[in-house]
Amino acid sequence: MNSPKALMDDFIKKTEEKAELTSSINGVYQYDFSASDHGVWSVTFENGKAVYKEGEVQDPVVTIKAKFDTFVDFYQGKLNAMSAVMTGKIKIKGNMSAAMKMQQFL
């Protein structure tokens, strides 16, 4: 994946394929790729649907901050989430259990 938009498009497709999981999630998840000049993106889960947009949001459930390439490696299963968090490659601010729910879409 070479852009946040491609990543988000793929992620939304996965949430649609796993609708039974999506229905149990509500709130806004923010992804901060600004360290690698890829901006800030958010995914809003509501009523079993997920939509994304570019730009910061107020009061997300969780913010996940990483360089874009690092996050893509995690997303594609090339980087272990726990070790990435422990080494500071991925930083999580907010509801940790909400962040862990995202792994079910990978």
Using 50, 70 and 90 to split pLDDT, how confident is the model at 93?
very high
Q: What is the mean pLDDT of the chain?
A: 91
- pLDDT, tens digit (0-9, with 9 covering 90-100), for 26-81: 999 999 998 888 999 999 999 889 999 999 999 999 999 999 999 999 999 999 88
> How many distinct helices (H) and strands (E) make up the chain?
5, 5
Domains and CATH numbers, the chain: 4-105 (3.30.1050.10)
Stretch 73-92: mean pLDDT, rounded? 92
Whole-Å CA distances, 101 to 16, 26, 36, 38: 15, 11, 25, 23
Provide the token pair at 40.
């800030």
The yes-or-no verdict on residue 3 having pLDDT over 90 is yes
Q: Report the C-alpha gap between 36 and 70 in whole angstroms.
A: 10
Q: Report, in angstroms and rounded to the nearest whole number, the Rg of the chain calculated over CA atoms.
A: 13
Residue from 74, 61, 79 nearest 105 by CA: 74
The pTM (predicted TM-score) of the whole model is 0.89
